[in-house]
Chain A
């Protein structure tokens, strides 16, 4: 008869230690992450649902929402095409300087968002070479929508590439070589073989890229010039309202972005279940 004595497992901690550790981690997470998130929604609805709706439907807020969507609609596809091209070149071929190129692609993650804005001010601002050329061609870059797009592109540059490079390196070149040897063309191979292989990883990268595009603040605030209704994105609108002590309106717009963050996290968790945590482990977002 088996004796019913439970020996302590030598590779786990005792129950007390376990629950104390969980409590410490839980408390830390609550104070640092959960409570601030909760605060956004509570502050947004402090004056009731009517005030919330009024705050997010007033003309300046609507203009900010429109601009944020416009910037995302331009920036995300551009960085997506770049990410796919860069990952194709880096993962499907062996060439010298590959590691260096990968480091350069990651560079924007190491640079302060404010500097991402600064570089475009220096490039297109007063005293620059390019600014007057573009101006005489009738294209205002700085303190206009093109500047906002450029600064956003810089900050979110590595997202898709970073997600796809390790994924495509793991998948190797066998599928593509088989397709080519069976007579498929380059584009055919990409659309019919490679894209189905990488679709979840691509979606994952696009999702994270989009979240950062819509929420970018530092870089955009430097190049925007804050022309109300013209160059103010949602995060900038939050700042403007907050600095006018219009707190509930600021939190109303903030709640929309927090909702976007929550949707992003949920989709991200679902995607990780579909295609595995191993590939969805990019740390430096």
Chain B
């Protein structure tokens, strides 16, 4: 209690420092942040507010908008789930095993970050079209991949893979092997050790990777539109609907759909931060 006044006297917005340039660098950073990101983003909020609640609700609950949001959501969730499973396997293989070509595989994991989405989109479409390299094997079975929601999931798996691998990999690298030895000493077999010792420790990282992959996939546009076929109510994603409304100069509709997606993006961002705070408290590291 007696500390309170002195700590209040000691409250400073900024700790003193001999290094010059605080005002210049912080000022420039904030002005640039406002000009490029914050003010333009605020414009969406302002234009949405100008629509009025009833108009906003009418656009947001339009059957086609709802269908597009649903498609965006379940395809992104499914792709992130596939990535959560295979991403952990890839990360495991890269960290724990030595095999020829490991370095190349490790480098190629980042391909989706480096390859433009439009390039990925047309390449995947060429592969999975009914006449494509991979699609031709599925076509006789009556399974169409390109131009259906399955195609969207394929594109989103491509986009999201590095997020899971690159969040799980460092945590697995730092994992203390002695814990595994202790488990083995206490009589656990390898499967028990992996399931009840290693996977729980990786869980926050896997969850973070899932959320990041999901967040990226929900907003993804370039790689999806080529392979999706873009059939209204079936394989039309929400970002495409925004683009179509903009091309019709129907700005209110585009704004409303954009605002809904922004809110969802912020929820994902918030969830990621929550997971990391929780994980830091529980495991001593941010996922």
A89 with B221: CB separation less than 8 A: no
Closest CB-CB distance, A10 to chain B, in whole Å? Answer: 3
Cβ-based interface call for B195 (8 A): no
Cβ-based interface call for B19 (8 A): yes
What A residues does B166 contact at CB under 8 A? 281, 283
What A residues does B37 contact at CB under 8 A? 104, 107-108, 154, 157
A269 with B221: CB separation less than 8 A: no
B107 with A111: CB separation less than 8 A: no
Cβ-based interface call for B199 (8 A): no
A215 with B122: CB separation less than 8 A: no
Knowing A93-B19, A238-B118, the reply to whether A111 touches B262 (Cβ < 8 A) is yes
B43 with A122: CB separation less than 8 A: yes
Q: Is the interface of A mostly helix, strand, loop or mixed?
A: helix
Q: Which of B19, B90, B170 contacts A29 (CB 8 A)?
A: B90
With the chains together, A250 CA to B125 CA distance in Å? 13
With the chains together, A265 CA to B109 CA distance in Å? 9
Q: Is the interface of B mostly helix, strand, loop or mixed?
A: helix
Interface centre among A31, A85, A189 (most CB of B within 10 A): A85
With the chains together, A23 CA to B190 CA distance in Å? 20
What A residues does B26 contact at CB under 8 A? 85, 89, 93, 95
Cβ-based interface call for B251 (8 A): yes
Cβ-based interface call for B204 (8 A): no
Within 8 A of B (CB), among A172-216: 173, 176-177, 180-181, 185-186, 189-190, 208, 211-212, 214-216
**Per-residue contact bits, chain B 220-262, to A (CB 8 Å; 1 contact, 0 not):** 1110001000000000000110110010010100110010011
Q: Which of A24, A85, A123, A261 contacts B43 (CB 8 A)?
A: A123
Enumerate chain B interface residues (CB-CB to A < 8 A). Answer: 13-15, 17-22, 24-26, 28-30, 32-33, 36-41, 43-44, 47, 86, 89-90, 92-94, 96-97, 99, 103, 105-120, 122-124, 126-127, 133-134, 157-158, 161-163, 166-167, 170, 177, 180-181, 184-185, 190, 193, 212, 215, 218-222, 226, 239-240, 242-243, 246, 249, 251, 254-255, 258, 261-262, 265-266, 268-269, 273
Enumerate chain A interface residues (CB-CB to B < 8 A). Answer: 10-14, 17-18, 21-22, 24-26, 28-29, 31-37, 39-40, 43, 81-82, 85-86, 88-90, 92-96, 101, 103-108, 110-115, 117-123, 125-127, 150, 153-154, 157, 173, 176-177, 180-181, 185-186, 189-190, 208, 211-212, 214-218, 221-222, 234-236, 238-239, 242, 247, 250-251, 254, 257-258, 260-262, 264-266, 268-269, 281, 283-285
